[in-house]
Amino acid sequence: MNFLKRLIVTAVAFWLTTIFLGDHFDVVGEFNIVSGDSAINKIVVFLAVALIFAVVNAIIKPIATVVAFPIIILTLGLFSLVINAGMILLTAWLTESTSWGIEVDGFWWAVLAAIVISVISALGRAILRADSD
């Protein structure tokens, strides 16, 4: 159940990031799960993108963090933003061959999206943690 909550928080973070950054960061496409209801189809796309992002973060991010550990120490943790942006760009690359996925206008927009997603996800996890007490 905890994974499902975190997945929904990440999907909401992606949705809000598309609102904040406009055309520079967008989740495109939709599945045809329910014919005639594009809202549900779009929600499924956000959940699918969040799932792929979670898998990328679970597999690739720890390796990238270990390799970049000296740089993270030298930059007092700021290089973690670059790693997060890389995870967003990797997710975009993985989904670009499909009819749905993430579109990012470049590296710096990915860095800004990483900041926004991190802040929104932290707030969402804090709210869920406060509700469970």
Q: Which helix (H) or strand (E) holds 106?
A: none
Task: Please state the φ and ψ torsions of residue 6, each to the nearest 5 degrees.
Answer: -65, -35
Q: How far apart are CA 43 and CA 33, in angstroms?
A: 10
How far, in Å, CA of 83 to CA of 133, rounded? 32
Indicate the pTM of the whole model.
0.87
Which structure tokens are listed for 60? 């690739």
Query: What is 11-67 written as a DSSP string?
Result: HHHHHHHHHHHGGGEEEE----SSTT-HHHHHHHHHHHHHHHHHHHHHHHHHHHHHH
pLDDT in tens, 43-61: 888 999 999 999 999 999 9
Q: Is the pLDDT of residue 1 over 70?
A: no
Q: How confident is the model at residue 3 (pLDDT cuts 50, 70, 90)?
A: confident
| pLDDT tens-place string over residues 98-115 | 888 899 999 999 999 999
- The gap from C-alpha 67 to its chain's centroid, in whole angstroms, comes to 22
Query: Average pLDDT of 22-48?
Result: 80
Report pLDDT for 33.
66
pLDDT mean over 26-32: 77
pLDDT confidence band for 70 (50 / 70 / 90): very high
Rounded to 10 deg, the angle between the 2-21 and 107-132 helix axes is: 140
